[in-house]
Amino acid sequence: MLGTRFVGWLRAQGEEVVGWDLPGHDITDVKKTINGIHKVGPDVVFHFAAWTDVDGCEGNPGKATSTNFQGTWVVALGAAELGCRLLHVSTDYVFDGRTGRPYHERDKPNPLSVYGRSKLMAEKAVTKSCSRRYIVRISGLFGRYGRNFVDTIRTLAAKKKRLEVVADQVSSPTYARDLCEPLLELARSREYGTYHLTNSGQCSWYELAREVVSLVGAGCQVLPISTDKAGRPASRPAFSVLENRNFKKKFGKVLRPWQDALKEYLLEG
């Protein structure tokens, strides 16, 4: 989702972009990936590829590790060999959600799921392999070109009279489009390190669902349920709001509230 949106946005800005995706390129193919990075000779590698199905990862840790950790490690090695910059996208799910406050970049990760552990392993691979790196943690992504919670609720609300949605997991919903400009600004800088980058504000999945239903004008009742009642295979952090401390400090900017971003996305159709 983010990669497709970002590539299109970069090209609209007049940037020269080489996009890699399945099935043409598999990042777990060590030789092809490293040789391919050398052949292209980029200034920056943006690494968005991942297996983001949290419950799917829980049921298949081998695939999660291969894609999210080993694939990232290979990309990082290629970038390091060439000496180019690497921007790697990670997740709020590297945290356990038990602090009761927004996480800043120096907080110690403690993932609860296979997905979160595989992404934390990827972060460590990037840190160890590539000195010219940016690790960017995002949260609750929605937008075009991929499955996401917002689209799921919009579709279900048009078909059902009642929805039950988890109310005890809180994060910061983030619009893929809103990440494009700050990601490029970051990659053009020499401000290497770890960043949290999300739309402003926070809400539960239940609150987000209610906002979606309200904005699309659906006559659907949204009811809160607990995580335990939802019965999902993988554990999720209860409170994984990310404080965008480093980006605000170094670039003097914050992303707009998630409510404004959501409204614009839904109006796009």
Would you call the peptide bond into 23 cis, given omega within 30 degrees of 0 as the criterion?
yes
**What would the pLDDT profile of 145-202 be if each residue is shown by its tens digit?**
988 999 999 999 999 999 999 999 999 999 999 999 999 999 999 999 999 999 999 9
CB contact at 8 A, 3 and 19: yes
The confidence band for 16, taking pLDDT boundaries of 50, 70 and 90, is: very high
Residue that the structure tokens 């209860």 belong to: 238
Which pLDDT score, from 0 to 100, does residue 18 have? 95
Residue-range domains of the chain with CATH: 2-268 (3.40.50.720)
Report phi then psi at 97, rounded to 5: 75, 20
pTM: 0.95
Q: Is 115 a catalytic residue?
A: yes
Please provide the DSSP assignment of 108-172 as one string: PP---SHHHHHHHHHHHHHHHH-SSEEEEEE-SEE-SSS--HHHHHHHHHTT-SEEEEE-S-EE-
C-alpha 130/C-alpha 124 separation (Å) is 10
Q: Which of 93, 115, 206, 265 is catalytic?
A: 115
What DSSP element (H or E) covers 44? Answer: strand 44-47
Question: Does the pLDDT at position 269 exceed 70?
Answer: no
